[in-house]
Amino acid sequence: MLSSKLPHLLNTNQVPKVFREQGILFGYRHPRSSATDCIFSVFQMTNETLNIWTHFLSAWYFLWKFLAWSYALDVWSDRYTWPFLTYMATCCIYPLASSFAHTFSTMSSCARHICYFFDYGALALYSLGSAVAYSAYIFPEEWTDSTFHHYYLSFAVLNTIISTSLSCYSRFTEMEKPKFSKAIRILAFAYPYVYDSAPLFYRLYLCTARGCTENAVPLHYRHIAFAWLTCFLFATHLPERLAPGLFDYIGHSHQLFHICGVIGTHFQMEALLVDMTDRREWLQASLPAPSFSQTVGLVVASTAVSLIIIAAFSTTLYSIPKFSKEGRKRSRD
């Protein structure tokens, strides 16, 4: 019964350029699929199926972790735990947004862009969640309570706004200037990561120089390794660009990008847990307890700003003739 409802798949020459992926030749869904078609395609092997499931299952894993720690920690009276739980909430959001983006991105070219606007906004929010946790738990002693530390989260919020704006803008240029578009998108997410991690990089540098044996250090190194591998896969389109058609369904770079990103987030979560526990006494003696406005409130406010940015880009999308024309065509079908 299900097989009779599964959408027919197309090759790269049968879909508009905006839907094509470098090195992927087969397994494309119809570029004007209905929402029902998109949902049924989740249970069909297409070139997006593993993209959908790798992040959908990951979202449930991080949600399980979030609920477990919410139950285990005294979250109502212990403000020290708030940055970690705020970070965990963003870990649940970004893979879920990605999974939905990949699921419904073939409804139309406009829908594709809007789906990925939300995907980019969720990634930028995850970067902010990481900054909230890093500010609370991983700063080296030399930078704790410094001027940089005082303004660290303010700039992280600004980076979230810039990241969301740049990544959304990159979709308007990807047809005419694909390399420029790709470069902007990489910059939009690489820069916030480097900024967020600057205190960690300095701490690891000091740790190496002094020969320290902190329990979280190996976990931080694993997270960094997977973060850079994730960026490498996203930027290079390997291995499918070396053998077009061979990795259409299993093993292409975006699937590996998802998997490495999730593994990196897992190690980041474990490292933060160790730092939160091992450094608690010293951190609580050195810093005031995190406030609601520095944790949950900060992420909620940034989410509202990101949604405004996404709404602005979506509105602009429909004012551009080549997109609005396709949207009208979709509505008639």
C-beta of residue 101 within 8 angstroms of C-beta of residue 118: yes
| pLDDT at residue number 4 | 53
| pLDDT at residue number 333 | 43
pLDDT-derived band at 211 (thresholds 50, 70, 90) equals confident
Mean of pLDDT values over 175-202: 95
pLDDT-derived band at 318 (thresholds 50, 70, 90) equals confident
Tell me: cis bond preceding 239? Omega within 30 of 0 counts. Answer: yes
Does the pLDDT of residue 194 top 60, yes or no?
Answer: yes
How far is the C-alpha of 182 from the C-alpha of 190, rounded, in Å?
12
How far is the C-alpha of 12 from the C-alpha of 210, rounded, in Å?
55
pLDDT-derived band at 2 (thresholds 50, 70, 90) equals very low
| pLDDT at residue number 74 | 87
Q: Which of 167, 53, 186, 184 is nearest to 119 (CA)?
A: 167
Does the pLDDT of residue 35 top 60, yes or no?
Answer: yes
How far is the C-alpha of 195 from the C-alpha of 191, rounded, in Å?
6
pLDDT tens per residue, range 229-247: 999 999 999 999 999 999 9
pLDDT tens per residue, range 37-66: 999 999 999 999 999 999 999 999 999 999
Q: Tokens 């005419």, residue?
A: 176
How far is the C-alpha of 143 from the C-alpha of 89, rounded, in Å?
27
**pTM attached to this predicted model:** 0.94
Q: For residue 154, how many other CB atoms are within 10 A of its CB?
A: 10
Does the pLDDT of residue 328 top 80, yes or no?
Answer: no
Q: For residue 54, how many other CB atoms are within 10 A of its CB?
A: 21
pLDDT tens per residue, range 135-180: 999 999 999 999 999 999 999 999 999 999 999 999 999 888 999 9
Q: Which of 140, 149, 96 is nearest to 122 (CA)?
A: 96
Q: Which two tokens stand for residue 166?
A: 């740049």
Transcribe 75-135 into DSSP letters: TTT-GGGHHHHHHHHHHHHHHHHHHHHHHHTTS-HHHHHHHHHHHHHHHHHHHHHHHHHHH
